[in-house]
Structure 1
Amino acid sequence: MDQILDYIEGGPKLRKWYGAPEILPKDASIVEEDDQLEEEEEVRDAVLVTDGDSEIGQMVILSLIVKRTRVKALVKDKRAALEAFGTYVESMSGDASDRPFLKRALRGVRTIICPNEGFLSNVGGLKGVQHVILLSQLSAYRGAGGVQALMKSNARKLAEQDESMLRTSGIPYTIIRAGSLQSTPGGQQGFSFEEGSAARGNLSKEDAAFICVEAVEAVPQRGFMFEVINGDEKVSDWQNRLANLMEKADQQLQ
């Protein structure tokens, strides 16, 4: 997974796997978005990954590609993303708080996956979006103490703002409250969804990315949140498990 995620190696490997043509260097005028294109009505079938340059963002993107999902991504380095993912990802660079840029970024987008905090609290409306998935470490931040608590204070504030924005947005949302994210191999451990577990447990970054992608098709009527860490429970059917978690969340609200 580490080699696949490497920007230098990722592009050639993905193109070899799926038969896409090699991407030749383009000049900046071609690579940059044509701001003069008129907005057209599109089918909303894309998944937008925010913070696509991040480690977890790249993992999410790769998992979506494997599922042959139409992927858009917000990145800092558009050329590097082009080299990494080729034609499988529509990468965009810009200020998400800028309304015209955000409008272009959301064109054709059905679902947003936020692998890190800070995006939702920085944008205005998300017109047309039908589902937002937020990977939140708020419980882990709140469970931190001492120096770690000081180091994570800003991230905690952003996570709180992101969750608050989602709850009042009116858009169906899924908040995945993960434990402390670790750079350990995914797919080798089970899980625990016990309430309060995220404040004291850990979760593999690869597993976190996988769960984000599985949540794309599990759209709640309104919104729900669940906690998850690595544990003993083996999950063979994620759609069924997520449906059970939604049902449990609905019962708690009644």
Structure 2
Amino acid sequence: MAGTSLPSSLLSQGPSLLLSSSNQISEAKCRVVITTSGKRCLVRCMAKKKISFVDQILDYIEGGPKLRKWYGAPELLPKDGSSDGDDDEFEAEEEEEDDDLQGENKAVFVTDGDSDLGRMIILQLIVKGTPVKALVKDRKKAVDAFGTYVELTSGEASDERFLRKAFRGVAAIISPTEGFFSNVKSLRGVKHAVLLSQLSVYESSGGIQAMMNNKAKKLAEQDENAVISSNVPYTIIRTGKLENSPGRNQGFDFSAGAAAKGSISKEDAARICVEALSVIPPTGLIFEVTNGEEVVSDWEGQLIKVMQRQSTKK
């Protein structure tokens, strides 16, 4: 689904549909009116300023239970994977053979789902129709934001029992912030780990900023080392400084050293994390990226090219 298109299922529902942006940038207002007459459909859009891709997706998701049903979201409430559930049931599950590890895992587990980046990643996975599990601190707020699209879980990354349950059915993990992978003892069953790292930014900072980033830098180093030594295929995306600017209106720069001096919108960084799932490296892939001049239309091809470039340097 393109960032500016409406779901095709919306065009066949009811005589009229009005979507209004509740997430406006400055004084931007966007209204889409769809009317049907017989077999004909008229779409009118009036906008003072284009809203971001993420804001458009939020408009669709926050359209209410009826809109969620059109989207194909399940009727059941999100499952709570927290460790404060029924202990007897959990003990029974641990005694059973883990069928998910033998079968085909499909879900993507997103850490820090409360953060801006985590939220953007989740929204883009929803648009792709990917089953999503998310680690969140505020479950109520997450339910309000994502409805039944996401299976929510709450717990500590260092809790092996909790993660064993949380990772059931999980094929890949995306971690957009520091501090998750370095606390995980095992990624058993996971086929691909994607880490968004700000290590290049932290290493290039100096003076007071370097002191402020010291803790985050150590966490980033620990996370990268944990992923590399996990025996799971991994992709480490070292981005430039993260900006709150709208994405999808700039190109990219994948050159070595770009992350230390450049920047990238959070929306574009989230997009790259999701696109990275399309290419699983034989062992691991590490690359830098910022916003730049290079236009990418084929992300799978771009990632393969970056991977080949990395292999050539070794």
Distance 1:160 1:10, change over 3 A: farther
Q: Secondary structure at the match of 2:275?
A: helix
1:94 matched to 2:166: no
Of 91, 113, 121, the residue aligned with 1:60 is 121
Tell me whether 1:154 sits opposite 2:231 in the alignment. Answer: no
The structure-2 alpha-carbon separation of the partners of 1:48 and 1:100, relative to structure 1 and needing over 3 Å to count, comes to same
Give the match for residue 99 of structure 2.
41
1:225 aligns with: 286
**How far did residue 147 of structure 1 move?**
1.7
* 1:51 equivalenced with 2:51 (yes/no): no
Q: 2:298 aligns with which of 230, 237, 242?
A: 237
| 1:84 counterpart (145, 167, 180) | 145
Matched-pair contact (CA < 8 Å) for 1:10–1:84: no
Give the direction of change, closer, same or farther, for the CA distance of 1:148–1:23 in structure 2 (3 Å limit): farther
Kindly state the Cα deviation for residue 13 of structure 1 after the two structures are TM-superposed: 3.2
Q: Which runs of 5+ in 1 are unaligned?
A: none
Out of 8, 12, 17, the residue aligned to residue 62 of structure 2 is: 12
SS in 2 for 1:203: strand
CA drift of 1:165 comes to 1.0
SS at match of 1:13: coil
1:127 CA drift (Å): 0.5
In 1, Cα distance between equivalents of 2:179 and 2:310: 25
For residue 99 of structure 2, what is the amino acid of its counterpart?
A: E
Is 1:113 paired with 2:174? yes
SS at match of 2:99: coil
Which letter maps to 2:291? N
1:155 Cα offset (Å): 0.4
Q: Please tell me whether the aligned partners of residues 23 and 83 of structure 1 are also in contact (alpha carbons under 8 angstroms).
A: no
Q: Percent of aligned pairs with the same residue? A: 53
SS in 1 for 2:171: strand
- Shift of the 84–10 alpha-carbon distance from structure 1 to 2, 3 Å rule, reads farther
Task: Please list every run of at least 4 consecutive aligned residues from structure 1 whose deviation after the TM superposition is greater than 3 angstroms.
Answer: 8-11, 19-24, 32-35
Unaligned regions of 5+ residues in structure 2, if any? 1-20, 24-53
Equivalent-residue separation in structure 2 for 1:14 and 1:114 (angstroms)? 29
Partner SS for 1:125: coil
Q: Distance in 2 between matches of 1:163 and 1:14?
A: 40
Structure 1 residue 23 displacement after superposition? 8.4
The alpha carbon displacement at 1:19 in A equals: 5.5
Given that 1:14 and 1:85 are in contact with CA atoms closer than 8 Å, whether structure 2 keeps it comes out as no
- Residue in 2 aligned with 1:130? 191
Q: For 1:167 and 1:21, locate their aligned partners in 2 and report how far apart those are by CA, in whole Å.
A: 36
**Which structure has the bigger radius of gyration?**
2
TM-score, normalised via structure 2 length? 0.73
1:172 aligned residue: 233
Range with bigger deviation, 53-62 or 75-84 = 75-84
**TM-score, length of structure 1 as denominator length:** 0.90
Q: Summarize deviations over 1:18-61 as a string: whole Å, max 9, x none.
A: 2648888xxx9xxx744415255133111000011100000000
CA RMSD of aligned residues (A): 2.7
Distance between the aligned counterparts of 1:69 and 1:142, measured in 2? Answer: 34
Once the two structures are TM-superposed, the CA of residue 2 in structure 1 deviates from its matched residue by 8.7
CA distance in 2, matches of 1:203, 1:2: 25
**Deviation (angstroms), 1:83:** 1.6
